[in-house]
Amino acid sequence: MSNVDLARWQFGLTSVHHFFFVPVTIGLAFLTALLQTSWYRKKNPELLRLTRFFGTLLLISVAVGVVTGLVQEFEFGMNWSAYSRLVGNVFGAPLAMEGLAAFFLESTFLGLWIFGWDKLSRRVHLACIWLVSLGSMLSALFILAANSWMQHPVGYQMVNGKPVLNDIWALFTNPVFVWGYSKVLLASLVTGAMVMLAVSAWQLRRGQDKDKDVFLRSARLSLAISSRRGSGPLAYCMASARDGKRRRVGTVWTDICRKPAIR
């Protein structure tokens, strides 16, 4: 096994373990915000208990996701240093935006949410969890913009043999990004809802009788969210942007984002 093979295995395993927790974090942040909003309006202690319970699971998911994400960022420079030097002028921009804007937004207000239960007003505390949810979605936005550029490079020009970004907005109007981001958000909501449903089902099955009414609420909420389904234009865009993928799946697309003609 060569050094390249080892680098691929290491980066692949890190990415897989990192992405286990990314959709869970995005989905649980949104669902926890919904639960706290219901508690804010109805002042039902059962909703407060659910908010705190699933908020704890959210914190665990964020913590593990941050650790694996930091390792992944180091591997960009250590495993793929030549690639990073070549495309860093373009690829580094959305990654920097994610770290300096989205991640700091998410982590700052998550800290305020954790320690602000008895120190902030109910309205401000509710705003904190919604900003956490917004931060997690923005984080995915910038990461998907960078990933979409690798699939379908746009908004750059070659200078001295290296791509240089000349249109930042092209990164965020990339058709691969537009469809990919929408699919990731929908998949994250469904993933978070399925985690909530699984935990609620466990509590209903194994928990005490007094807990059944509490977790029945979260089970209903998760079922309502997980029943939503997304569309499939992303596959068309991806196949149009990458001829190799198009050939492997055995389909022909005449233009990006159009319906396929199956051979």
The pLDDT > 90 percentage for the chain reads 32
pLDDT of residue 130: 96
Q: Which residues pair with 261 in a beta bridge?
A: 252
Handedness of CA 104, 110, 115, 120 (dihedral sign): positive
pLDDT (tens digit per residue) in 50-72: 999 999 999 999 998 888 888 88
d(CA 130, CA 210): 29
Within a 13 Å sphere around the CA of 229, how many CA atoms are in the beta-carbon half? Answer: 2
pLDDT of residue 233: 54
Q: How many helical (H) and strand (E) elements, i.e. helices and strands, does the chain have?
A: 10, 4
| DSSP SS3 for 259 | coil
- Average pLDDT (205-234) is 75
At 243, is the pLDDT very low, low, confident or very high (cuts 50, 70, 90)?
low
- Average pLDDT (93-109) is 88
Handedness of CA 80, 82, 88, 90 (dihedral sign): negative
pLDDT of residue 193: 92
